[in-house]
Amino acid sequence: MQILAILLDVVLPVFLVAAIGYAWARKDKPFDPHFVSLLVTGVGTPCLVVDSLSGTNLQLGALGTIALASALCHGSAMALGYGLVRATGQSVSTYLPSLTFSNTGNMGLPLTLFAFGPAGFALSIAYFTIASLANFTLGQAIAAKGISPSALLRMPLIWAIALAITLALTGVALPASVARAMHIMGGLTVPLMLLSLGYSLAKLKIQSLGRGVAFSLVRLVGGFCIGWMVATLLGLDGVARGVVVTQSSMPSAVYNYMFAARFGNKAEEVAGLVVLSTLLSLALLPWFLATVM
């Protein structure tokens, strides 16, 4: 009964909102994924970070521990993914990003909000922040086989993190009008992420079914095991443990497909991995969540 309750109360709402985006795409309704992506990454997510982290009652030490957990999870996933890709003779630039960088934004944020409430959501923002920085720098560099370090300084997310930490350390509050504007724009982010996820899935096609399923299971089950081990290593329990394990268990991020398409790395193969891992997560995530709720 607990598995069914988690499916209905936590996992299914996420997929229902994504399904609206999927149906929108299948009906050929107007939707500009490039605009939505720019809006979410350039405005919505930075506002969400400032609004969530500067306004939380959580100690910076707790957020720092989750950020460390995120870094350890991604490093471990990269090591596992690299070993699998090399052992199977596949392209590192094609498959390693998808095995390393998971959908901690579009799916991870709403799932942790529904499962663990506002406190879990704030911790999840810390995990997602490290994941985003890593995906847009290291992940993009792997796909592109090299990228300028200066790209990091051009990311709005970097400046949002700096602002949020400064506000938290100094106790200074933003002017009420600015804070409310941040809250409004941050509130757009999760729904747009889910709609964009569904829309993107409708446009992607599955290639190499067998390899796609195998690699998807490594991403999901391997991610769960890594999250569990990292949480144990850091002595995390309760909501913090739940956030780390859940975020580490997410399917491959859609951005992996975008980078593959941009840099000519067999985008259709990556698309299949994104779609299959997302579909398989619907069956696996309730079981993963049951271990930490």
- pLDDT number for residue 84: 94
CATH of the domain at 107: 1.20.1530.20
pTM: 0.83
Mean pLDDT of 256-285: 81
The pLDDT tens digits of the residues spanning 95-111 come to: 898 899 998 987 888 88
Closest CA to 208 of 145, 284, 267: 267
- pLDDT number for residue 171: 76
Q: 247, 126 in Cβ contact below 8 A?
A: no
Token pair for 235: 């002595």
Q: How many domains, the chain?
A: 1
Token pair for 218: 């490594």
More confident position, 151 or 280 = 280
Q: Rounded distance, CA 259 to CA 141, Å?
A: 9
| Domain carrying residue 32 | 2-290
A 10 A CB-CB count for 259 gives 25
pLDDT bucket at 2, cuts 50 / 70 / 90: low
Q: What residues contact residue 246 under an 8 Å CB cut-off, 6+ apart? A: 108, 111, 112, 115, 124, 227, 285, 288, 289, 292
- Kind plus residue range of the DSSP H or E element containing 234: none
Is the pLDDT at 152 greater than 90? The verdict is no
